[in-house]
């Protein structure tokens, strides 16, 4: 049975909003929450500069990625193969491996959330979260289910982080000052943060979902730009709220240590309610990131011609493998999540480089669309930065396991 024009428009709108929140919730996963907690304790208000750096790089990268992929109607792997046969599959392999590492961390993050929210054992919490994600992709309308759950959980995360950011009373003035005049700059911290928020699969999650919605081509450039900008704004708000929530606790003189620093911070800010709120936020971040990592990783090793049910079953298998790996590894979640961020910082130069090459040299792939020079320039600057940061992360990965 075909959709009516009204129903079709409604489904497309749901998918575009879902793409926006998929981008935001993928970027604000348990990795970012863990990194923000650890680094805020270490650096205090000076971490604001790293937050700003990640947002600026995010703007330069996402505006280019959404526009090139949206206008061309091609996923990043398909675009890569159109530029150089085999390039797309190479990038897809990198993203798939990175997504696998990240997803183990995402399941670990959701397990931490379950523990803080309900007191469940980490392994049981991880298994339950993975089962929920699998159920979503087994549903007959997997795309619609994906959109609705990331929108709903994303909204809940924003409201709860706003609550904790208010009650923790952070030194906003000091944070603003350190945003432009940081007391200290740590390149490994910036590398890890960028890798964890725009690296690997995260860069392409929203754009690939947008392509699935059918909102593609030069005629939809306004909608593509609008959704990408709104997605960046939502992501920036979520990053800032989380940082301020943790900073308020740190600035208040509370000593945070142990295996779950973020949970301790939320509890210090709002007592037992704060701990439960943290559990909901981290679980929501973990679940949406499991969904985003699995969905996007599979889009990189399939094509748009792949039947939806086949793709759903592959996604289910991907989640199951990640869940088993998490249960077997039993790795300390914070170490694993931070490692995943640094690893993804090495992947970004390849995929984003292909996007910029298409914008610069392959107008035919963009259906004749004339690409804005200013957008290409800021994209190249961001790409050069990812090369530098990726090189720096090589020396830092081994240290994270010490």
CA distance 129 to 298: 19
From residue 269, give the alpha-carbon distance in Å to each of 167, 181, 240, 266: 6, 27, 17, 5
Checking if the pLDDT of 66 tops 90, the result is yes
Checking if the pLDDT of 399 tops 70, the result is no
Share of the chain above pLDDT 90, in %: 42
Tell me what pLDDT residue 203 has: 85
Q: 79-93, 126-140, 231-245, 255-269: which range is least confident on average? A: 255-269
Checking if the pLDDT of 103 tops 50, the result is yes
> If you average pLDDT over residues 57-85, what whole number do you get?
93
Of 295, 336, 314, the residue nearest 126 (C-alpha): 336
Return the higher-pLDDT residue of 258 and 270. Answer: 270
pLDDT in tens, 179-199: 988 888 887 788 777 776 777
From residue 114, give the alpha-carbon distance in Å to each of 122, 287, 326, 364: 7, 11, 15, 49
Which burial class, exposed, middle or buried, applies to 162 when counting CB atoms under 10 A from its CB (0-12, 13-18, 19+)?
Answer: middle
Return the higher-pLDDT residue of 199 and 34. Answer: 34
Checking if the pLDDT of 224 tops 80, the result is yes
> If you average pLDDT over residues 231-237, what whole number do you get?
89
CA distance 173 to 255: 22
Tell me what pLDDT residue 1 has: 44
Tell me what pLDDT residue 30 has: 83
Return the higher-pLDDT residue of 156 and 337. Answer: 156
Residue burial 87-113, b: 16+ Cβ < 10 Å; e: rest: bbebbbebbbebbbbbbbbbbbbbbbb
CATH 3.90.1150.10 fits domain 14-401: no
Tell me what pLDDT residue 332 has: 47
In sign, the C-alpha dihedral spanning 352, 354, 357, 361 is negative
pLDDT in tens, 130-173: 999 999 999 888 888 898 999 999 999 999 999 999 998 899 99
Question: What is the chain's mean pLDDT, rounded?
Answer: 86
Of 187, 198, 234, the residue nearest 50 (C-alpha): 187
> If you average pLDDT over residues 213-220, what whole number do you get?
90
pLDDT in tens, 279-314: 999 999 999 999 999 999 999 999 889 998 999 999
CA distance 319 to 331: 17
Tell me what pLDDT residue 373 has: 95
- CB of 245 closer than 8 Å to CB of 164: yes
In sign, the C-alpha dihedral spanning 214, 215, 216, 220 is positive
- CB of 329 closer than 8 Å to CB of 104: yes
Q: Which residues contact 327 (CB under 8 A, 6 or more apart)?
A: 123, 126, 127
Checking if the pLDDT of 315 tops 80, the result is yes
Checking if the pLDDT of 253 tops 90, the result is no
DSSP state of 46: G
pLDDT in tens, 141-152: 888 889 899 999
- CB of 365 closer than 8 Å to CB of 73: no
Confidence of residue 13 (pLDDT cuts 50, 70, 90): confident
- CB of 111 closer than 8 Å to CB of 282: no
Confidence of residue 95 (pLDDT cuts 50, 70, 90): confident
- How crowded is residue 1: how many other Cβ atoms within 10 Å of its Cβ? 3
What does the CA dihedral 62, 68, 73, 77 come to, rounded to 10 degrees? -80
DSSP three-state, residue 231? helix
Tell me what pLDDT residue 284 has: 95
Which burial class, exposed, middle or buried, applies to 165 when counting CB atoms under 10 A from its CB (0-12, 13-18, 19+)?
Answer: buried
> If you average pLDDT over residues 21-45, what whole number do you get?
86
> pTM to 2 decimals?
0.88
Q: Which residues contact 353 (CB under 8 A, 6 or more apart)?
A: 383
DSSP calls for 192-207? HHHHHHHSTTHHHHHH
Helices of type H across 301-332 = 308-329
């Amino acid at each position: 049975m075909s959709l009516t024009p009204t129903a079709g428009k409604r489904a497309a709108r749901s998918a575009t909003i879902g793409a926006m929140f998929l981008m935001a919730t993928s970027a604000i996963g348990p990795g970012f929450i863990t990194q923000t907690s650890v680094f805020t304790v270490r650096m205090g208000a000076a971490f604001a500069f790293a937050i700003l750096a990640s947002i600026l790089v995010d703007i330069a990268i996402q505006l280019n990625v959404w526009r090139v992929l949206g206008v061309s109607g091609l996923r990043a792997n398909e675009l890569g193969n159109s530029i150089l046969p085999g390039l797309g599959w190479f990038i897809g392999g990198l993203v798939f491996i990175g997504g696998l590492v990240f997803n183990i961390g995402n399941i670990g993050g959701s397990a931490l959330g379950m523990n803080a929210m309900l007191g469940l054992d980490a392994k049981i919490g991880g298994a339950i979260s993975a089962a929920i994600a699998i159920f979503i992709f087994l549903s007959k309308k997997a795309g619609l289910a994906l959109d609705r759950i990331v929108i709903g959980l994303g909204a809940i995360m924003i409201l709860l982080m706003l609550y904790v950011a208010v009650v923790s009373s952070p030194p906003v003035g000091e944070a603003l000052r350190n945003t432009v005049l940081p007391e200290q700059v740590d390149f490994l911290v910036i590398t890890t943060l960028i890798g964890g928020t725009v690296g690997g699969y995260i860069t392409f999650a929203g754009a690939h979902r947008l392509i699935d919605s059918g909102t593609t081509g030069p005629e939809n450039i306004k909608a593509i730009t609008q959704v990408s900008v709104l997605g960046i704004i939502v992501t920036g708000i979520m990053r800032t709220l989380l940082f301020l929530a943790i900073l308020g606790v740190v600035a208040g003189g509370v000593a945070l240590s142990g295996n779950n620093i973020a949970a301790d911070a939320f509890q210090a800010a709002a007592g037992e309610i704060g701990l439960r709120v943290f559990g909901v936020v981290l679980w929501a971040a973990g679940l949406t990131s499991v969904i985003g990592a699995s969905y996007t990783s599979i889009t990189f090793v399939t094509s748009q011609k792949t039947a939806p049910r086949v793709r759903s079953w592959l996604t289910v298998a991907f989640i199951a493998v990640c869940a088993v790996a998490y249960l077997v590894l039993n790795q300390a979640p914070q170490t694993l999540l931070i490692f995943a961020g640094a690893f993804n910082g090495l992947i970004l130069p390849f995929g984003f480089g292909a996007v910029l090459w298409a914008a610069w040299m392959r107008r035919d792939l963009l259906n004749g669309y004339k690409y804005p020079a200013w957008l290409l320039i800021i994209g190249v600057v961001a790409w050069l930065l990812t090369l530098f940061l990726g090189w720096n992360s090589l020396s830092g990965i081994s240290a994270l396991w010490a």
